[in-house]
Amino acid sequence: MCEAAIVSSTEAKLHFSRFEFKYVLAQSLREQVEAELGHFVDLDPYVQGHKGHQYLVRSLYYDNAAFTSFREKVEGQHTRAKFRIRTYARTVNDLAPWFLELKGRYNNLVFKHRTPIQGDFDKRTSGEQLSRLLLTQAAPDSVRNQFEFELFKKQIEPTVLIDYERRPYISRFDPDFRVTFDCKLTAIATDSMFPSGAFAQRLLLPGYTVMEVKFRHRVPAWFHRIIQAYELRRRSISKICTGTEALGMQLDPT
């Protein structure tokens, strides 16, 4: 099985809600924090033996012409949601699964609902054709139905592709407490999951890693000590908003 087809057990869940804290770390700080975490966490077993103990995450985000989802995030709305297509495939020929996902926030709680995109289809499909393909290939459930509503009522469309490399860890004491390190973030203004080389790729946060802490109930005391020891500060950062801003797509042309 190819590396891109390996997905962690948590990533494979179809529905969940949890808290997520984010930190942006320079490379030297990341190395120190990651070494300290090694006393309390283990690599997700699905990346054992993989190059760099990490895998690719590829997401194509939807928004409308007014960039409503982007503005809801920037304005700090406590209840919001957005659609995206997600896969872990590095190339169009990889056998990694595809998902249609609805990810959002209700106050401080992050939720994600996903449905598999099934069957054989052209993975180079783009734009409106890609959206209509999802309506026929996504499993028939509430996620797919909500997507159809927003597709035609709110006129959402694929806008930005975000890629990054992820290294995931799981607490030895609580399997619901996870830490991931995301680096090599890039953004492309495209309506395809596998755009041609003609599309310009923008590197995001060069030299920095986004560390995400994910949990259902509380942050353990040992992690609080790491936060204090390294003076870590939470950041309200969104990969898709960072990419949209870097590409200048949200700017009013008038």
Q: What is the mean pLDDT of residues 3-27?
A: 73
Nearest residue to 46 (alpha-carbon basis) of 130, 197, 169: 169
- Does residue 221 register a pLDDT over 80? yes
Q: Which two tokens stand for residue 252?
A: 């009013």
Domain assignment of residue 252, yes or no: no
Torsion angle of C-alpha atoms 162, 93, 150, 129, degrees rounded to 10: 120
Domain assignment of residue 253, yes or no: no
- Does residue 170 register a pLDDT over 60? yes
- Does residue 10 register a pLDDT over 60? no
Q: What is the pTM assigned to this prediction?
A: 0.91
Give phi and psi for 250, each to the nearest 5: -85, -5
How would residue 12 be classed by pLDDT, with cut points 50, 70 and 90? low
Residues 62, 9, 215: CA angle, nearest 5 degrees: 75
pLDDT of residue 16: 80
pLDDT of residue 250: 76
Q: Tell me the per-residue pLDDT of 173-190, one tens digit each, with 9 for 90 and over.
A: 999 999 999 999 999 999
> Which residues touch 156 (CB under 8 Å, ≥6 apart)?
62, 63, 64, 69, 83, 150
| Distance linking the first and last C-alpha atoms of the chain | 50
Domain assignment of residue 83, yes or no: yes
Q: What is the mean pLDDT of residues 1-11?
A: 44
Q: What is the mean pLDDT of residues 217-221?
A: 93
Q: In whole angstroms, give the CA distance from residue 143 to residue 155.
A: 16
- Does residue 8 register a pLDDT over 90? no
Average pLDDT along the chain: 91
Please report the DSSP string for 76-90 in residue order: T-SEEEEEEEEE--S
pLDDT of residue 252: 58
CATH of the domain at 54: 3.20.100.30
Q: What is the mean pLDDT of residues 210-238?
A: 96
* Domain tally, the chain: 1
Domain assignment of residue 30, yes or no: yes
Q: In whole angstroms, give the CA distance from residue 167 to residue 169.
A: 7
Token pair 């249609």 is at which residue?
Answer: 100
Domain assignment of residue 138, yes or no: yes
> Distance of CA 52 to CAs 47, 57, 136, 169, 201, Å?
9, 14, 37, 13, 22
Query: Considering only 9-23, 107-121, 219-233, which range has the smallest mean pLDDT?
Result: 9-23
Domain that residue 126 falls in: 3-247
Domain assignment of residue 254, yes or no: no
**Facing residues of 210 across strands?**
24, 182
Nearest residue to 180 (alpha-carbon basis) of 46, 72, 86: 46
> Distance of CA 18 to CAs 106, 205, 214, Å?
10, 25, 7
Domain assignment of residue 46, yes or no: yes
